[in-house]
A and B are shown apart, each in its own frame.
Chain A
Amino acid sequence: MSETHSHDDWPYPHPKQPDIEDGPLTDYMAMTEAVAELLIDKEVFSADDMRRTLEDIDSKSPAEGARMVARAWLDPDFKARMLEDVNAAAEEMSIDAGTIPILAVENTKDVHNVIVCTLCSCYPRYLLGLPPDWYKSRAYRSRLVREPRAVLAEFGTEIPDAVEVRVHDSTAELRYMILPMRPKGTGDMDEDALAGLVTRDCMIGVTVIDRD
């Protein structure tokens, strides 16, 4: 990080924070800094632990999930293992999927799957990164279970009536991700090229992969 600097007695060097240093410091930002500093002072964790965890958060993006989807499209055995145990399948690819079990559900010509967490905002962060704002919104959490097709339409996704729309409300001990259908006309594409087609939103299930 080029912008790293440190104040006297600031407990850890950190990248320049435009939100803190150029905007108002809210009570909650101050609370966050204060809690972090107290926990470091008390050696609950170290400044290094904090830095590593932040790096880890930044390293997670939908690209992790996309690589797995592409591999599953190319390798039926891998796909079977992924549908059985995402976390173990991720490890094969040196992807850390975290300790919370993730279940991959497969879209087929008969079933279109989409995920939500109506009670909070559970999300497969280790494979898709931090959730988009709308995933955590009252509108999405309230409406997806009751009018999934209307919500999908707001994302530009029309699912034919003959296809079952199956909503997964991840309330408990699992996180979900969608294994989208491989688009037609991609027979000659390699894993990297295929991974490039796989978006975050299609792994949430609000979109399908569209190739124009």
Chain B
Amino acid sequence: MSARFAAGDRVRVRKAYPPGHVRTPYYVRGKEGVVSRLIAEHPNPEERAYGRDGLPPIAVYGVLFRQNELWPDYQGPEGDTTEVDIQEHWLGPLKDDGG
């Protein structure tokens, strides 16, 4: 499988709240970020957590979020960020209209 995103791509995290084992923290769901790096392709931990093999492997990216995007009331400077490792199936491209 080939990675769908590259460093520099703007992405939006899927806004979904499944009740099982997931690796995408609640606070980034639905948020916009920028891919900082392709980390690797790994068997999907969300499958492996239930005893399955998690294949095919899935790409994991470092995604950089501006703190102001994550927390509209963020008190610190404009430039502060949080980077989170996110699997490809949690990411969608960001359209020009911001959607």
A172 pairs with B60, CB closer than 8 A: yes
How many B residues, CB 8 Å from partner?
26
Q: In the docked arrangement, what's the CA distance between A159 and B27, Å?
A: 24
A164 pairs with B79, CB closer than 8 A: yes
A166 pairs with B81, CB closer than 8 A: yes
B-contacting 9-mer, from A33-41, A141-149, A177-185, A204-212 = A141-149
Given contacts A101-B40, A165-B80, contact A173 B60 (CB under 8 A): yes
> DSSP class of A's interface residues: helix, strand, loop or mixed?
loop
In the assembled complex, the CB of B60 is this many whole angstroms from the nearest CB of chain A, namely 5
Partner among A145, A166, A173 whose Cβ is within 8 Å of the Cβ of B85: A173
Given contacts A119-B23, A172-B45, A172-B87, contact A146 B80 (CB under 8 A): no
| Residues in A whose Cβ lies below 8 Å from that of B25 | 118-119, 145, 169, 171
- Range for the number of chain A residues in contact with chain B: 20 to 34
16 A-B pairs within 8 Å (CB atoms) are namely A103-B39, A149-B75, A150-B75, A164-B79, A165-B77, A165-B80, A165-B81, A167-B81, A168-B84, A169-B83, A170-B85, A171-B84, A171-B86, A172-B39, A172-B85, A172-B87
3 A-B pairs with least C-beta separation: A172-B85, A164-B79, A167-B82
